[in-house]
Structure 1
Amino acid sequence: MKIVSFAIPCYNSEGYMSKCIESLLPGGEDVEIIIVDDGSSDRTAEIADAYAEKYPTIIKAIHQENGGHGCAVNTGLANASGIYFKVVDSDDWVDVDAYARVLETLKKFVADDTLVDMLLTNYVYEKIEGDYHHQRTMFYTLLFPQERIMGWHDMKHNIKGFSILMHSVTYRTQLLRDCHLELPKHTFYVDNLFVYEPLPFVKTLYYLNVDFYRYYIGRDGQSVNEKNMIKRIDQQLYVNKRMVDAYDLWQIEEEHLREYMLSYLETITVVSTCIGYVSNDPVNLKKVKDLWKYIKDKDPRTYHHLRWGALGHAMNLPGRFGRYLSVKAYKISQRFMGFN
């Protein structure tokens, strides 16, 4: 029985995927590692096959036509046999000591027949530029009690802009299948959908305060690179709209969950807005304006909540000066959070 399945989406990852895979191997026979070669043109497929041949009871290598990150996650989930499921991107890795704690915790859930729907752990930004190495740990001690099974009603605070990300979440595999999660093909930023769409199905959570996931920042080709986000603004807006369409949030009875999802949606909408502002492109500014109109037409109540929220209000200050302040706030948050 596999306790957890790790899916590693790989696209032309020959230069760094081994570090990711090697960091997961200490899980031994308790885990399976599903390497999804998403139509790579370099040595990714060869490396994946070599690992699968060397560790046949632990590693699966799956090859498919290029479908993008979301499609690779879908493939990983479809082939997962573990009780829990986590995505680890091919340029990231996990901390060995925290990994041992995570496995110990998940195995205890299984032994005690107390399977939680979501395990939360910390993640660490690892930003490397030449000789410069910046680390920043994102933890959830202000939001959730530690090391006990809880529901959303146990959430201590809802801090806007402080979100549960793909890096921090391990889902129960069957829950993802029960909510019929399917991420879109050829689309960046689907990690937000991976976290957001299953949330109403989550009834039990557990926060383990360990720095498990190491999130590498620094490659020019990364989707979170600002230039790439501007270039791919249409995909960011598509994900944003799908989040708007996913639920009538006002029908969610659990207040803490509803407020958290509204906050998450506000954060993503602010990111979309900032990308348009930073681009200083009239076409993108029009797209941002259209996004807010889309939200207003779809759900006026949610629109007003986002529009007059602390983050959303800052993004909607009128005129060039308002956009100037928004961009400044965005630049400050970049430095503070350590992302690209």
Structure 2
Amino acid sequence: MKVLTIVIPCYNSAAYMNRAIDSLLIGSEDIEILIVNDGSVDNTSKIADEYESKYPNLIRAIHKENGGHGDAINTGLKHSTGMYFKVLDSDDWFDKESLKKILNILKNMINTSNKLDLLISNYVYENVSINKFKSINYRSAMPIEKIFTWENLGHLRNSQNILMHSVIYRTELLKECGIELPKHTFYVDNIFVYKPLPYVKTMYYVDVDLYRYFIGRDDQSVNEKVMIKRIDQQIKVTKILIDCYDPMLISCKKLRKYMIKYLVMMMTVSTVLLLKDNTEKSLNKKKELWNYLNSKNKKLYLEVTKSFLGLMIQIRGILGRKIILLGYTLSRKVFGFN
């Protein structure tokens, strides 16, 4: 059995997938690289097959009909043989030295029979369009290179949300939680990170910049204009998270607090994008989303409205809108996202 499976979902990725794949070639056969070609119509299929032919003990090319990013991850999980599971988007890449260190840690966990559910590492925003490079770390909130539980978790700032870029889950845990990402849907990485959280008992934080998150391409899913155009997808994923669990019933206080914090983030993203669009249709969608949360879970709704965003939402009219958008603009400049 392999130590770590790394799945690379690819859709028309021929122009940049080589960098992602090459960043995983660290001379170890403890890694399994699954290139999932999601119905591409460019040379993605050919490139994937060439890598498999060159590295048959390391790389497998999997070809499937187009089902979207989430469906490619589902396929990768079904074919995975690694003890641990990581997703690498085809336009991103890993730092090789960081990967070597993390792989050694995972091997040690397996050899010493430590049942680790979740390994967390840093990621770096690589926004070439505004020449901004920002590392997101968790050293102020998590013990470094020690096994810990939710009870040991410190305060996570708004910039320190645990995202897909920062997680390596135990493969069996992902299967145990019954994760199945929806087809033809963007922003499913939020479901991938969120749904397994109540199943996580043990965690380990490595303070290295493993994941290099490339943003700034005009056609990228996290480009602001693209996100506004696809706002219905963002709302869909937010509603899936709302329906996923009732965080108010989770006994562990710190886990409950973090899951609510994650939902606040999701509500914030949808709300800000709808306000930026500022059409009657968008403002109605904003109202409907908040009504949806309220109707599904009144207690959770009240908890979310205690957040800064929730308080600002209650400031009607132009003032509330201006405050929310100002906060978004400042965050964007500081952290370099979108």
* Counterpart mapping for 1:26-45 below 5 A: 26=26, 28-45=28-45
Shift of 1:59: 0.5
Alpha-carbon offset, residue 338 of structure 1? 0.3
Q: Give the match for residue 80 of structure 1.
A: 80
**For the Cα contact (< 8 Å) 2:67–2:184, is it kept in 1?**
yes
**Structure 1 residue runs without a partner (length 5+):** none
Give the structure 1 partner of residue 70 of structure 2. 70
Q: Deviations over 1:81-112 (max 9, x none)?
A: 00000000000000011111101100100110
Show the 5 A alignment for 1:188-199.
188-199=186-197
Match of 2:25 in 1: 25
Shift of 1:308: 2.0
> Does residue 276 of structure 2 align to residue 278 of structure 1?
yes
Counterpart in 1 of 2:146? 148
Counterpart CA distance in 2 for 1:80 and 1:119 is 18
- On the 8 A contact 2:138/2:156 being kept in 1, the answer is no
Distance in 2 separating the partners of 1:162 and 1:213: 14
Aligned length: 338
Aligned to 1:167: 165
Amino acid across the alignment from 2:57: T
Question: Which of residues 245, 249, 252 is equivalent to 2:250?
Answer: 252
Matched ranges for 1:1-340 at <5 A: 1-26=1-26, 28-129=28-129, 133-160=131-158, 162-340=160-338
The 8 Å contact of residues 137 and 207 in structure 2, kept in 1 or not, is answered as: yes
CA displacement at 1:115 relative to structure 2: 2.5
Taking structure 1 as the reference length, what is the TM-score of the superposition?
A: 0.97
Residue pair 1:161, 1:267 contacting (<8 A) in 2 also = no
- Counterpart of 2:329, as a letter, is K
Contact conserved, 1:122 with 1:139, CA < 8 A, in 2? yes
Cα 1:39–1:316 shift into 2, 3 Å: farther
SS of 2:80's partner is coil
Question: Could you tell me how far 1:280 is from its partner in structure 2?
Answer: 1.2
**Deviation of the 1:311 alpha carbon:** 2.9
| Partner SS for 1:45 | helix
TM-score, scaled to structure 2: 0.98
Give per-residue Cα distances to partners, 1:300-331, cap 9 Å, x unaligned.
11101111212322244211221122112111
Paired residues of 2:95 and 2:210 also in contact (CA < 8 A)? yes
How many Å separate the matches in 2 of 1:202 and 1:166? 15
User: For 1:286 and 1:337, how far apart are their aligned partners in 2?
Assistant: 30
The aligned amino acid for 1:170 is: I
> Does the CA contact (< 8 Å) of 2:121 and 2:207 recur in 1?
yes
Q: Which amino acid aligns with 2:119?
A: L
> Per-residue displacement from partner, 1:254-300 (whole Å, max 9, x unpaired)?
11100000001111111110010011121111111100000001111
Q: Distance in 1 between matches of 2:297 and 2:27?
A: 45
Taking the aligned partners of 2:115 and 2:245, their CA distance within structure 1 comes to 26
Identity across matched positions, percent? 49
Q: Are the structure 2 counterparts of residues 288 and 332 from structure 1 closer, same or farther at C-alpha, using a change threshold of 3 Å?
A: same
SS at match of 1:62: strand
**CA shift at 1:151, angstroms?**
0.6
Counterparts in 2 of 1:161 and 1:309: CA distance versus 1, 3 Å: farther
Matched-pair contact (CA < 8 Å) for 2:117–2:201: yes
Identify if the C-alpha distance between structure 1 residues 167 and 27 changes in structure 2 by more than 3 Å, giving closer, same or farther: farther
What SS does the aligned partner of 1:36 have? strand
Question: Is the contact made by 2:136 and 2:159 (CA closer than 8 Å) also made in structure 1?
Answer: no
Q: Following the alignment from structure 2 to structure 1, what is the Cα–Cα distance between the partners of residues 303 and 7?
A: 36
Deviates more, 1:325-334 or 1:57-66: 325-334
Any conservation in 2 of the 1:27–1:103 contact (CA below 8 Å)? no
How far the C-alpha of 1:161 sits from its partner, in A, is 5.0
CA offset digits 1:142-192 (Å, max 9, x no partner): 211111111100001133453100000000000000001000000000000
CA deviation string 1:51-80 (max 9, x = no partner): 011111110101111111000010111100
For the residue of structure 2 that corresponds to 1:157, the secondary structure is coil
Residue identity in the other structure for 1:60: R
CA drift of 1:335 comes to 0.9
Secondary structure at 2:148 match in 1: coil
The code of the aligned residue for 1:71 comes to D
Q: Which amino acid counterpart does residue 339 of structure 1 have in structure 2?
A: F
CA 1:180/1:27 → structure 2, altered by over 3 Å: closer, same or farther? farther
The gaps in structure 2 that reach 5 residues or longer are none
Displacement of 1:222:
0.9
